[in-house]
Amino acid sequence: MSQLSPGPGDAIRVAVSAVIFSLRSDPDADRLMIPLVRRTRAPHEGMWALPGGWPGTTEGLDDAAARTLAETTALTPSYLEQLYTFGDVDRSPTRVVSVVYWALLRSDLVDAQRAVAGAPENVEWFDVDDLPALAFDHNHIAGYALWRLRNKVGYSRIAAGLLPDEFTLTELREVYETVLGRRLDPSNFRRLLEGSEELVPTESFRTGKHRPARLYRYNADAEVETLGPLEA
Amino acid sequence: MSQLSPGPGDAIRVAVSAVIFSLRSDPDADRLMIPLVRRTRAPHEGMWALPGGWPGTTEGLDDAAARTLAETTALTPSYLEQLYTFGDVDRSPTRVVSVVYWALLRSDLVDAQRAVAGAPENVEWFDVDDLPALAFDHNHIAGYALWRLRNKVGYSRIAAGLLPDEFTLTELREVYETVLGRRLDPSNFRRLLEGSEELVPTESFRTGKHRPARLYRYNADAEVETLGPLEA
């Protein structure tokens, strides 16, 4: 029981990985995507994997996740939230326990960071619903992250992490539709959101080829049931 | 990046711990309590700590959590859910990353398991709102588990994990009150629950010194938004 006694824990190594969701534009529509890194050595050389690496001895797990993500992809989300720790015995040729983090990253911030840091080699964005066969158990991990995201979007303001500060109800609905992977009834959606205390109408409007649409923002004063970083 | 390359990950050890909530009877009322184990060696010898230990090299994390919990406390919840992984650099004299699990355990099952396995030495139940100073960062961990439980009870059928299969609305309200640590208005509670699809009235009644009270059960067919093991 002592945390100082020699034990089998010695033979298990700790890694960190990250699943970063963003809405990337297709010619037709936005798609929910994650960045993957092509492995350059064994095991699974040449396969795509989640960005990640090894925590330093004097580095906390959160810091390690942010650092390894930045080193591999040049991406820096405002906040990474711990998702789950994967430790199946056979998930890697040697015994590795992976502490996985996730984040939402606004598309315009991805582009802005790319403009500064350049696009790293061996990194590409993939549609979460159309991933290739990934290294290790990373398909399983990505699938779990997606399940949690789709589950969470129903009862939280998670969509805020994928939108600018002000947005139209149509833009908000489209984020929900992309994340959930299905169409929502526009009238029902509008009625539900307009009646909630979650959203605050602004005095600004989006103008363009359609008739002007009012911009909304999330109500910072509304009581949020689950105040996790992903909803901040 | 390779999961086979030698790296600092080697110097970090992996442990598992568990926070087991149950409603234990006081002369006056039920209290929300967790079992703690008194440490018999350094570091923090003599202090109370969460039950736990080291995963075996060929043992998954879930199995390790269940095994070490049984070895230290003789308790076997029907299901342990992973809560969070704690990895701050200074949480232990040596670098230990602790994968923490939690569970709800019905009071009558605690008693039944005790009757079979006996009461292990060095184990006691403590009121979650009145914990002593614990070893390592275990006060922090227990506080986080309690926060998650209180947060989750609001939007899930988590109370089912603390109740028998059939229960009166008063019993259900008392579980909520004990978990949340505050009184709820009985009429509002009754109105809210009777109007939901969550509960199904049975044809049985609890009789005693008060007037008979109808027994309810959770509706197995109702769609639950967050289908975690704690709500099963």
- Interface probe with B: pick from A1, A2, A3, A47, most Cβ of B within 10 Å: A3
Task: List chain A domain ranges.
Answer: 8-153, 158-231
Residue A2 has pLDDT above 80, yes or no: no
**A8-153 classified as CATH 3.40.1190.20:** no
B158-231: CATH topology: Arc Repressor Mutant, subunit A (1.10.10)
CB B61 to CB A8 under 8 A?
no
CATH number for domain B8-152, candidates 3.90.79.10, 3.50.30.40, 3.40.50.20, 3.40.640.10? 3.90.79.10
Q: What is the DSSP string of A3-39?
A: SSS--GGGG-EEEEEEEEEEEEE-SSSEEEEEEEEE-
Q: Which pLDDT tens digit goes with each residue over A66-81?
A: 999 999 999 999 889 9
Name the residue of chain A whose CA is nearest to B84's CA: A84
Output the tens digit of pLDDT for each of chain B's 232 residues.
444 444 555 689 999 999 999 998 777 778 899 999 999 999 999 999 999 999 999 999 999 999 999 999 999 998 899 999 999 999 999 999 999 999 999 888 888 888 888 878 899 999 999 999 999 999 999 999 999 888 877 656 677 788 888 999 998 998 888 888 889 999 988 888 877 778 889 999 998 888 899 999 888 776 544 433 333 3
User: Which of B 111-170 lie inside 8 A of A, CB atoms?
Assistant: 136, 151, 154-155
Helical ranges in B74-213 per DSSP H: 107-117, 138-152, 169-180, 186-194
User: Quick one: pLDDT at residue A76?
Assistant: 92
Which residue among A14, A40, A225 sits closest to B155, beta carbon to beta carbon?
A: A225
Residue A112 has pLDDT above 50, yes or no: yes
Fold match between domain B8-152 and domain B158-231: no
A187 class by beta-carbon count within 10 Å (0-12 exposed, 13-18 middle, 19+ buried):
exposed
Contacts of A153 in chain B (CB under 8 A): none
Query: A212 with A202: CB under 8 angstroms?
Result: no
CB B57 to CB A85 under 8 A?
no
**At A193, is the pLDDT very low, low, confident or very high (cuts 50, 70, 90)?**
confident
Separation CA A139–CA A137 (nearest Å) = 6
Q: Which pLDDT tens digit goes with each residue over B131-153?
A: 999 999 999 999 999 998 888 77
Q: Please state the ipTM of this predicted complex.
A: 0.83
User: Which of A 22-51 lie inside 8 A of B, CB atoms?
Assistant: 37, 39-43, 49
CB B9 to CB A15 under 8 A?
yes
Residue A196 has pLDDT above 70, yes or no: yes
